[in-house]
Amino acid sequence: MPARLAFYRGDRIVEEEVVDVGVLLQELRPDHDRSVTGSAPPVEVRGKPVRVDSAKEVFVEITLPTDIWFPRVMGMEDEYNLEPYDNSALAQLHTPRLNAFLREVRDKTLALGGRWEKLDVNGIAVNYLDQWDEFGIRLESTGASR
């Protein structure tokens, strides 16, 4: 699923539609190992199609294969970083759109009698637990995600 992302191109922040974050990272950071810059969509939505009149439970999974959405990120330096980097300038630009999308999906799911569970950040959640909840990614220190 493509997304409009903000990122640094040189010293300028630009916003573009991105289909593959790995391709973008390879372009911006060609010095990094390909295992760090592997192919990945900005947002992944998976589920099985069902008929409208079906009584089966519908399951949809939304995952974030990258941490670009968060205001504080661990970064991709050669050595593991213990202190997060400030990514708030980028997150303030593109994360509200992600949160609006998640809010709309959540509201429609609940209105149809469905269940809504936590956002899955594909294994990177442990470093970001204080920055997200069932409503999306918190951009302010107050914990608000809107």
* Alpha carbon distance 95, 137 (integer Å): 7
What is the pTM for the complete model shown? 0.79
pLDDT bracket for residue 145 (50, 70, 90): very low
* Alpha carbon distance 126, 44 (integer Å): 19
Per DSSP bridges, beta strands 44-47 and 60-63 are antiparallel
Taking only the tens place, the pLDDT of each residue in 67-90 is 889 999 876 654 556 678 899 999
- Average pLDDT, stretch 131-137? 83
Specify the pLDDT at position 83: 74
Specify the pLDDT at position 71: 94
pLDDT bracket for residue 46 (50, 70, 90): confident
Here the contacts of 30-39 (C-beta below 8 Å, separation 24 or greater) are 32/76, 36/76
Taking only the tens place, the pLDDT of each residue in 94-133 is 999 999 999 998 898 888 778 887 655 555 556 777 888 8
Taking only the tens place, the pLDDT of each residue in 13-29 is 999 999 999 899 888 88
Specify the pLDDT at position 19: 95
